[in-house]
Amino acid sequence: MSEFFLSMEHISKSFPGVRALDDAMLQARPGEVHALVGENGAGKSTLMKILTGALAKDAGVIRLNGSEVLISDPAGALALGISMIHQELNLIPYLDVGQNIFLGREPLRSGGRIDWNALYAHTQAQLDLMQIDLDSHATVGHLSIAQQQMVEIAKALSRQARLIAMDEPTSSLTERETARLFDLIRSLKSQGVTIIYISHRLEEIFDIADTVTVLRDGKWVGTYPVREVTSADLVQKMVGREVEDLFKKEAAARQNIVLQAKNVSSAGFLHDISFDLYRGEILGLAGLVGSGRTTLARTLFGAEAIERGEIWIEGKRVRIDSPQDAIRCGIGLVPEDRKEQSLFLNMAVADNITMSALPKLSTAGLIDFRRLRRVAREYVDTLDIRTPSLTQRIRNLSGGNQQKVAISRWLTLNPHILIMDEPTRGIDVGAKAEIHALMSQLAKQGMGILMISSELPEILGVSDRILVMREGRIAAEFTREQATQEKIMLAATGTQH
């Protein structure tokens, strides 16, 4: 029997004009958590699509337990015990847990009718085996993202999955939910299940993985025991160059106050929020999920109602009752979910960049398309947005380039204040460094930036000052020099030394 449960050797795949995989490989042992890392566009998704039957390989061999297998479609992969849990979960929200887990393979009574008692009994048995505290009759749409992920895992195991690939499984999870997921992964590992773990969060790789494979530009760079590499090693192998500091930040020349919040409150969510934001600074906003950070961002942007309190811009009190009011006051908001809240995925890059500036690009109600393309090209060049053309659909760009487009749309309006909610979520290390450099450049030009982030290294590395929120209140404020991860977490959790 082979040492490896999975062996993908000399895998190649080309699309028109693009060689997505070039002699790539991935070998994972039984009962191993095997991390797969690389920048967006490195070939990770293509390799997983080939493994799960969503794409056909052009060349190469796939072996399970030493025997060559042909995987021609997703059903074939499932039959071989291979399941994939995607970043965007594939569950039907209006069906319950049991119906989702056994969708398309419901136990039947004689006569072909569904045996509902058996279905829910099997579901509950699977949940109990995984020590998941869920009701098999619960409607999936009413569950948290973490609970929905547990349903996906239960569905995979109910098919006797021997290999589960997980794509960015913690991108929408709290720290507590992530810890619960890791406990479950360790339990699966002890049962001999092989886990392929894809994540941009390198700290998770060192927490959960045994082995890591690096891809770059569709090629296999290497496979390493996690205990033998450092975060800096992985970054260098992923991007092909030394990255001395992912969080490069020039000291801000703090100017006058551009935004003041005075005792801002909203019913049940925010309580007497007061702070100043200066021109030329990046003000970090830390806190646990549910602490009120995003609610504060939406309130400042007019997407949530202010119950009481005041907002001052450039020394003048303003009333912001809608996003249109905020935009007129020079405020922009890059939301945390760019695909759902920021981008028009089926529209072109040029259209997404210029969407907010259409009134400025129109005369008598007619759009000047030549000028529109000129403006779009200017931002593509300035922000180094990597796209084959201005007409490329935005959904086909990498996460980092999508985020640059989302930022560029606001830059076309020349805002004085930019609120950025999780600006580097779900993008690779190289793109993160580029976004951080762009933020630093915008601050240097005099913009005031309010940055929300759940990643403490990012908060510490990019911010000039840091506010910590807890239960809808400002719990602490630190200068860049004062702040540490421990101090921020103590303030965020309300824990005393």
Helices (H), ranges, 272-331: 293-300, 323-328
**Contact between residue 238 and residue 429 where contact means Cβ atoms under 8 Å apart:** yes
Residue 461's Cα: distance from chain center in Å?
19
Query: Could you list the pLDDT tens digit for every one of the 497 residues in the chain?
Result: 578 999 999 999 987 767 889 999 999 999 999 999 987 678 888 999 999 999 999 999 999 999 999 999 999 999 999 998 887 778 899 999 999 999 888 999 888 899 999 999 999 988 887 777 889 999 999 988 778 888 888 888 888 889 999 888 887 677 777 888 898 899 889 989 999 999 878 888 999 999 999 998 889 999 999 999 988 788 788 877 554 555 666 666 677 999 999 999 987 789 999 999 999 999 999 987 778 898 999 999 999 999 999 999 999 999 999 999 999 999 999 888 777 777 888 899 999 999 888 888 888 888 888 889 999 999 898 888 888 889 999 888 877 888 889 899 988 888 999 999 988 877 777 778 888 888 998 999 899 999 999 888 889 889 999 999 988 999 999 998 998 888 888 888 776 54
Beta strands (DSSP E) in 336-386 are 362-363, 366-367
Per-residue DSSP letter, 336: S
Q: Which pLDDT belongs to residue 77?
A: 93
Among 454, 479, 453, smallest CA distance to 466 is for 479
Three-class SS of residue 195?
strand
Residue 236's Cα: distance from chain center in Å?
21
DSSP 434-495: HHHHHHHHHHHTT-EEEEE-S-HHHHHHH-SEEEEEETTEEEEEEETTT--HHHHHHHHHT-
Q: Do domains 6-239 and 257-493 have the same CATH topology?
A: yes
Among 204, 208, 206, 235, smallest CA distance to 221 is for 235
Strands 331-334 and 33-37: unpaired
Residue 290 burial (CB count, 10 A)? 13
Q: Which pLDDT belongs to residue 1?
A: 59
Q: Which pLDDT belongs to residue 248?
A: 61
Strands 316-318 and 308-313: antiparallel
Q: Which amino acid is at 377?
A: R
Quick one: tokens of 406? 């989302």
Per-residue DSSP letter, 229: -
Gap between the Cα atoms of 413 and 402, Å rounded: 18
**Contact between residue 211 and residue 223 where contact means Cβ atoms under 8 Å apart:** yes
264 membership: H or E segment, kind and range: strand 257-266
Residue 15 burial (CB count, 10 A)? 10
Residue 2 burial (CB count, 10 A)? 14
C-alpha torsion sign, points 101, 104, 105, 107: positive
**Contact between residue 181 and residue 24 where contact means Cβ atoms under 8 Å apart:** no
Which CATH number does the domain 6-239 belong to among 3.30.565.10, 3.40.50.2000, 3.40.50.300, 3.40.50.1220?
3.40.50.300
Quick one: tokens of 176? 């507590």
Gap between the Cα atoms of 192 and 213, Å rounded: 20
Per domain, the residue ranges of the chain are 6-239, 257-493
Three-class SS of residue 74?
helix
Residue 143 burial (CB count, 10 A)? 19
Q: What are the CA-CA distances from residue 19 to residues 152, 198, 239, 387, 388 (Å)?
A: 32, 21, 18, 16, 14
Gap between the Cα atoms of 476 and 265, Å rounded: 17
Among 20, 30, 3, smallest CA distance to 56 is for 20
Q: Which pLDDT belongs to residue 249?
A: 64
Helices (H), ranges, 52-139: 74-79, 97-101, 116-129
Quick one: tokens of 194? 């092989």
**Contact between residue 399 and residue 426 where contact means Cβ atoms under 8 Å apart:** yes
Superfamily of domain 257-493 in CATH is P-loop containing nucleotide triphosphate hydrolases (3.40.50.300)
